[in-house]
Each structure stands twice: as C-alpha cells, then as structure tokens.
Structure 1
Amino acid sequence: MIGIIGGSGIYNIEGARIIKEINISTPFGKPSSPVVIMDIEGREVAFLSRHGRGHIYPPHLVPYRANLWAFREIGVSRVLSLSAVGGINRKLQPGDYVVISDFIDLTKNRKSTFYEGIRSIRVEGEDKPAKLLREGKVVHIDVSEAYCPQMKTVLYKVLEDLNLPFHAEGIYACTEGPRFETPAEIRAIEKLGGDVVGMTGYPEVVLARELTMCYASLCVVANPAAGISGKRLTSQEVIELMKSKDQEIKLLIKRFVSELPEERTCNCKNALEDAEV
C-alpha cells in the first residue's frame, strides 16, 4: 500500500473516495491524525496529516515515530511525503517542485530512531523491525540513497507529463523550528550545500527506512528562505502558496498513484540487511 503524508496546507485529498478512517494507537504513541484509507485510481492509499487536523502539531513535536509505525501496522510499504519549503538555491522559484535527493539534519531534540538497544520498546510482530526491537538490537542503517529511486523516477515522469516546473535533485536541510531560520543560518546552510530548508523532512525519511519502506519527498518552494528576498517571512504566505497549488497536487497524486508499479524494484526493502550490531 502507498502512504501519503501531507504537510502544511495539505490536510486531505478532496475528491478521493474514502473507504474508511482508522484511529490507531501505536507503541510509540498516537499518530498526528487518523489514517484515512481511500481509493485513488483503483488502488488503496493511506493518507495522514503530518501536523494533524487543524494544524495542531508544530514541527518539533510531530509524532514522527507513531506516524510511520501506524503506516507499518496497516501494511504501507511506500511513503510519499508532500511539504512546503523555503528556497535557498537561487535557481528555485516560488511554486517550483523539488524532488529531494539528499538531506542535512540540523535538528536538536527529536527521536530519530526506533532502535534504542537495551532501551528499545518491545513490540509484537514477526517482521524484522519487530524482532530487532524485541531483541534490543543496535541498528545502523545506510542512508547513501535515502530516497527511493523507483519512486523518484515515477515522480519525474508525472511532473514532466503535467508540464510542471520541477527540479530533479535537491538537498533538504531540516531545522528544528518552529521559528524560521535566520539569514546567517541560511548562509551557513547554503555553504553546506542545502538547496531548500524545512522543518519536517527529518527524521521521517530515516524512520521510514528503518522500517524498510520506500520513501520519496516532493517539496513545493513556498518562498525564498530568510535573507534572500529581503522580505519578512510569514506562515500565511506558505499556506496561501500551497492553497494555490491544491488542484495541481491532487492531479499529481492521482497520476503518481496510477503510474507507480505494484512491484518494488528498488533496494529499499533490504535496508536492514547487515545493519544490526
């Protein structure tokens, strides 16, 4: 099953036929929102609002582990993340799409792994993640290719077919939030190679990988990052930009779901091989 996580301004997928809504409680707490199972192009898709209904979770308090574990419990094997970002690379314009290819973690206080060795939460299940947790294993996953190449290829095709402005690669710098970054911080991130900045891309990507899920991140540039345009940053301009892209995003999701092959041909499902100590 495909799971979709909607970020700021993306709280539902209107027009999709809703099959059911699931309230899940996980060993890692309750997810941000109920998981909505819907029919898109004849395929079951799970949707979850990252910030919750009514946007009640700030970036640093999003229950990332619960969100991904809830997806695992209902059989999600691929996750598409949708989010708004600030543009650092001068080639990026507001409204452009960016398919993320790598990340820089600049967060400070987030639980970024399921595997905590002797302190791991013991869970039920017979898959490898559950067994590693019950055994209290220490796990080091490889993130040389954190974003699923198969999913990215489909995103490229869909974006091209829809004639939408996009960039096939982009390095996502994740900051702690909830405040926006300073101009000095943006200059530092630019020197590190960051193309876009956001507050929610990490640890979501690595948590998905720890559960052997495929993960792809499609971002919309909402505005230039701090200090680049010289203008004051506001949350309202982010929400308004995302609202203006609403119909595009719905169509993009529909096409992506219909074109993603059923079979996983990538190596994401093998992320836990030789990772345990």
Structure 2
Amino acid sequence: MDTMIGVIGGSGLYEIDGLEDARWHAVETPWGAPSDEILTGTLDGVRMAFLPRHGRGHVHSPTTVPYRANIDALKRLGVTDVISVSACGSFREEMAPGHFVIVDQFIDRTFAREKSFFGTGCVAHVSVAHPTCERLGKACFDAALAQGITVHPGGTYLAMEGPQFSTLAESKLYREQWGCDVIGMTNMPEAKLAREAELCYASVAMVTDYDSWHPDHGEVEVTEIIRTLIGNSEKARGMIARLPALLTTARGTCEHGCDRALENALMTAPEKRDPALLAKLDAVAGRML
C-alpha cells in the first residue's frame, strides 16, 4: 500500500503549500458532508489530502464539526496516515506559546458529539489505550525539529466540549490534579474515530496561550494570541512540507497495529448485524466486513 498523508487543519491552517496537481473534491459519506471539500495533490511524490476541520472561513464550532464524516471521507479517498494539527492552550510554563506538542494521551471531557461509527446492529470495541501512532508522531516530531520549531515529544491533551474556555477552577483541576499538559476542543472524538477506521493518527498541538491558570493570562491581548496563531500556522506548513521525505511513498503495515485495530473488536454475530449499518461502514470497516 502506498502512503497517503491526510492533514486535518485546525484554526488558522487552511491550506498546504506546494501541492502539485492540487484540486478540491466534494466527498459524500454515509455520515453526512465533511467540514469542507478536501484538497488533494502530491508533495515530493507522496499523495496528500487536506481537510480544514472548521471549514474554510471557520464555519463549524468544535461541537458541530462532523467528525465521523471527516474521518470517513479521508479513508474513502485512500488516506493511510492522519496528521491532526490544532491550536491549544498550555498548562505548563515550559510549553510556551509558539511551541508544538506531539500529543500521545487524551482525557476526553466532550459530551455532545457522536463518538463512534458503530452501535446497535454492529457493536465494536477498539482499544485507545495508546490513542496516537508512535511512528507517525515521531515523524511529526522530527519534521518540526528540522523546521526549527520548539517541539515537545509527548503530552496529555484535555479535550473539552467548548465553545467557552475553562473557568479558573477547571483550569487548575486539569493542570494540578489531573496532570494534563495542553487543552483543546477538537481532538476528540477525532482520535477515537481514526482508530475505529484503522488509520494511523498523530496529534500536533500548537500552543497559542496559557490557559486561565496562569497569573499573567488576563494580561495577554487577543491580538497577541492571533499573532501567535498565525505564526504557528506558518510553522505548521513548514513542518508538513517535510513529512513526505520522512514517511516516503512505500508503506508497510503499522508496527503499532493502528491499521488492524478492528481485528477482534467486532462483537455482534454476523447473522445479527444490521445491513443498513454495515452499508454505512463500507469505507471505515470494509476490510473486516
């Protein structure tokens, strides 16, 4: 199987530089329309796909992002490796605005989103003990480092529902008692759905500010956060441009088993499975069904 890198761009990241044969595709999925059309092309000989998570013009809130449609659409196009790029707040002094964090763990505090492709008629339980792909995360780390970005290898991401930011009490809880490193609103259920779709998934969190725990948080101007967001997006484009050389065209099986996540996960007996749901799972779980 050849590599195809899918980039889900967060706030401020709405394109990939240097794509050859670039064109936007409208992709239909059984789960509805994705956030936007998907930009495809090649970069240094490797196929690429780019999906703006919030849609061009930022039309979707974190809650209304069509996560299932997004992951299905990428899988349907042939994507093998998903790079999630998103803005976040930091709970750590050393993870400063402008830094990147290669997330390797999540605490999911979202509650108003559909979190699975499976359900009544076809039940499945995948493991998300290690919710990101170590191989893919390392490639992102190496690409960021080569781009001159200050990048942290590992961190726990608190996924909140939003759209409001944390209260001071919540921020202190997540930082001091739960041991979280960064906070955002969009990586869940995205990471869980990517695992169900047997896609390798890596999360690159771009720090824009310290969350409300920080004593100087109130003094930070919104214009400064926006400036950091724009700077982070420029860095992210440089990081993405280095990924094809690191991941290469040829791709074997994932050594961490991401591409085999559904093996032993399907619980419903074949004769009891709902044909209507199975039809919707054609791209996501076709290998097993």
Provide the TM-score with structure 1 as the length reference. Answer: 0.89
1:13 alignment partner in structure 2: 16
2:18, 2:43 within 8 Å by CA — same for their partners in 1? no
Report the alpha carbon displacement of residue 59 of structure 1 after superposing the two structures with TM: 0.5
- Aligned pair count reads 259
Give the direction of change, closer, same or farther, for the CA distance of 1:57–1:237 in structure 2 (3 Å limit): farther
2:112 alignment partner in structure 1: 109
What whole-Å deviation, never above 9, does each CA across 1:114-149 have from its counterpart, x for those lacking one? Answer: 0012xxxxxxxxxxxxxxxxxx22111101111011
Uncovered stretches (5+) of structure 1, i.e. residues with no partner: 118-135
RMSD of aligned alpha carbons: 1.6
1:273 alignment partner in structure 2: 263
2:79 alignment partner in structure 1: 76
Percentage of identical aligned residues: 36
- Tell me the distance in 1 between the aligned counterparts of 2:221 and 2:123: 41
2:211, 2:217 within 8 Å by CA — same for their partners in 1? no
Residues 1:89 and 2:92 are matched in the alignment = yes
Residues 1:159 and 2:144 are matched in the alignment = yes
1:141 alignment partner in structure 2: 126
Report the alpha carbon displacement of residue 156 of structure 1 after superposing the two structures with TM: 2.4
- Tell me the distance in 1 between the aligned counterparts of 2:74 and 2:134: 20
- Tell me the distance in 1 between the aligned counterparts of 2:28 and 2:196: 20
Report the alpha carbon displacement of residue 188 of structure 1 after superposing the two structures with TM: 1.2
2:102 alignment partner in structure 1: 99
Give the direction of change, closer, same or farther, for the CA distance of 1:198–1:30 in structure 2 (3 Å limit): same
2:68, 2:117 within 8 Å by CA — same for their partners in 1? yes
Report the alpha carbon displacement of residue 247 of structure 1 after superposing the two structures with TM: 3.2
- Give the secondary-structure state (helix, strand or coil) at the position aligned to 2:205: strand
Residues 1:227 and 2:217 are matched in the alignment = no
- Which residue, out of 217, 229, 243, partners 1:256? 243
Give the direction of change, closer, same or farther, for the CA distance of 1:101–1:224 in structure 2 (3 Å limit): same
Report the alpha carbon displacement of residue 45 of structure 1 after superposing the two structures with TM: 0.3
Within 5 Å, give how 1:239-254 maps onto structure 2: 239-254=226-241
Give the direction of change, closer, same or farther, for the CA distance of 1:49–1:235 in structure 2 (3 Å limit): farther
2:180 alignment partner in structure 1: 194
What whole-Å deviation, never above 9, does each CA across 1:213-232 have from its counterpart, x for those lacking one? Answer: 00000111100001313316
Report the alpha carbon displacement of residue 234 of structure 1 after superposing the two structures with TM: 7.1
2:90, 2:211 within 8 Å by CA — same for their partners in 1? yes
1:84, 1:238 within 8 Å by CA — same for their partners in 2? no
2:17, 2:241 within 8 Å by CA — same for their partners in 1? no
1:60 alignment partner in structure 2: 63
